[in-house]
Structure 1
Amino acid sequence: MSTLTFEANDILRWAVSLAWPFVRISAMLLVVPVFGARQINTRVRLGLALLLAFLIMPQLPEVPAIDPLSVGGVVVAIQQALIGIGMGFILTLVFSAINQAGEAIALSMGLGFASAVDPIGGVQVPMISQYLSILATLIFLAMNGHLVLFDLLLRSFETFPIGSGGPESDDFWHIASFGSRMFAGAMLIALPAVASLLLVNLAMGVVTRAAPQLNIFAIGFPITILAGFLIVLLTLPSLTARIGEFVLSALPLIERIARI
């Protein structure tokens, strides 16, 4: 009966071939929305990254023989981490812009004090921001965005192989400019509600001037909050379409970062 024998060099080569994709995948899962949520245990993320690295390792190009404990190995690890963080951070900008839009709407409604913990960022955000964040997460999953993201990640190892370098300075400038576009897009999402609530507040001011004996604080806040909820409900169809466009707009930049 024949027995399998492994040499130390074979085991080291196999471990290095698994380590480099694991660094890129785990870095992306650390910052990408949904998978990078604070409610998801770190062990779960690391286990998922290890499973993905093990599954895609046979499909990867030949990994250069670099000692992970050397200076060159540390540089390669940093490069892989930057690639993964860059790919995940782009989607994080999308969800942050959506939270910003919800915060603008909540402040206009008078609900800025009503906050809860965001399941993605783990910070206190207004309730409208949390609602939009959950809506964006559902849209992202319904569009199979997580599967598209994993597909881009797998293709990135072919177009941006391990040891070929890391992100360039232009990539960081593209990410920064994308963040400014996301901020402008967030204002477009919040603009219908903010403008409508501004008209409601102006109407309340006119009513106060016409009837000074009316207690505007007793009726103004309930009316503003009710009007805000109605506006959010009426703009929901266009809101979902805009959030879908936000998610889709991030994919070309992810492809650019991954050299796809």
Structure 2
Amino acid sequence: MLNITTSELYTLLATYLWPLSRILALVATAPILGNPSIPVRVKLGLAIMITIVVAPTVEQSLPQIDPSSGMGLIVLLQQLLIGIAIGFVMRIVFVAVEMAGELIGLQMGLGFAIFFDAQNSGQIDIVGRFLGIIASLAFLAIDGHLMTIALISQSFSTLPVSTEGVTQATFTNLANWGQEIFRAGLQLSLPVLTALLITNLALGVLTRAAPQLNIFAVGFPITLSIGLLVLALSMPFYAPIFEHLVYEGLNLMMGILNISKMNMP
């Protein structure tokens, strides 16, 4: 008969519970991995699989705390915060790309073409949806999802499970990283916005020169055509910008986890 003492049971529970909470929080919030279209069972299975691989390497560094105690609950919440913070960093990159698409779609006159975005539980226009899909494919192409999993695995050696958790400076860096939504979104949408601004100025001059011209019948097709043309011409230049944003996000994640930063191409 197999006999397990209470202390051994608590040790076994802590060995897998605390790493699982950090990994599960990352899987639930990270882009691609945390997409609502992925079944919950798949997410849970992936988190458990990673935990089974990682847990034996962090067993020796776990604090000697009862998981069912108040301090054990605090440690559990800290691991959830660490996982959410790591996933939040990379999610901002995708929000910036989708924001650029919303600005472009609004100026093109496609603000009425709205879809429901299950990932953000909100509405997003068709151009933002298109750029979001392109960003997801680029993220997979540069193995961003594998880098994210590798970082969460390394985090247990550089930021071990303890009662300390993350510092206030970490949350300050996350708040400052949020400004990338507006900077990167404007940077990505600027070429199309500039072309549409010139187009609208030209249509305004044309309306003054020929008042009998129906600007509503002519302006929308021209604006839509110019916007799509410039967007298609700008797509090859979006890849380096997005790749740079991904590497910046990965370096910020490494800074949170105290891992040596990678060199950006």
- TM-score above 0.5, yes or no: yes
The gaps in structure 2 that reach 5 residues or longer are: 260-265
8 A Cα contact 1:61 1:161, kept in partner? no
Please tell me whether the aligned partners of residues 29 and 35 of structure 1 are also in contact (alpha carbons under 8 angstroms): yes
Q: Which position in structure 2 is the counterpart of 1:122?
A: 121
Q: Name the counterpart of 2:243.
A: 244
Stretch moving more, 220-229 or 176-185: 176-185
Q: Give how far 1:207 is off.
A: 1.1
Deviations 1:3-59 (A, max 9, x none): 865444333311210000000001111111111112122232122111111111112
Q: What one-letter code is carried by the residue in structure 2 that aligns with 1:60?
A: V
Equivalent residue for 2:13? 15
CA distance in 2, matches of 1:214, 1:235: 31
State the SS of the aligned residue for 1:116: strand
Identity of aligned residues (%): 39
Distance in 1 of aligned mates of 2:207 and 2:67: 71
Out of 40, 43, 63, the position equivalent to 1:42 is 40
Deviates more, 1:160-169 or 1:216-225: 160-169
- Mapped partners of 1:132, 1:228: distance in 2: 14
**Counterpart code for 2:92:** L
Q: Which residues in structure 2 correspond to 1:86-235 (within 5 Å)?
A: 86-235=85-234
> RMSD of aligned C-alpha atoms?
1.5
- The answer on 1:53 being equivalent to 2:51 is yes
Aligned length: 258
1:37–1:122 Cα contact (<8 Å) kept:
no
Contact 1:115/1:126 (8 A) holds in 2: yes
Contact 2:96–2:180 under 8 Å retained in 1:
no
SS at match of 2:179: helix
1:171-196 CA distances to partner (integer Å, 9 max, x unpaired)? Answer: 11111111113421211111111011
Mapped partners of 1:123, 1:185: distance in 2:
21
Structure 1 residues 119 and 237, CA, compared in 2 at 3 Å: closer, same or farther?
A: farther
5+ long unaligned stretches in structure 1:
none
Secondary structure at the counterpart of residue 73 of structure 2: helix
Following TM superposition, the consecutive aligned residue runs of length 4 or more in structure 1 with deviations greater than 3 angstroms are 3-9
SS in 2 for 1:240: helix
Q: Shift in Å at residue 164 of structure 1?
A: 4.9
Whole-angstrom CA distance in 1 between matches of 2:117 and 2:33: 14
Return the letter of the residue paired with 1:10.
Answer: E
For 2:115, what is the secondary structure of its paired residue?
Answer: strand
The residue matched to 1:162 in structure 2 has which SS? coil
Tell me the residue number matched to 1:72: 71
Output one character per residue of 1:148-184: Cα deviation in whole Å (capped at 9) or x when no partner.
Answer: 1111111100000001521111111111111113421
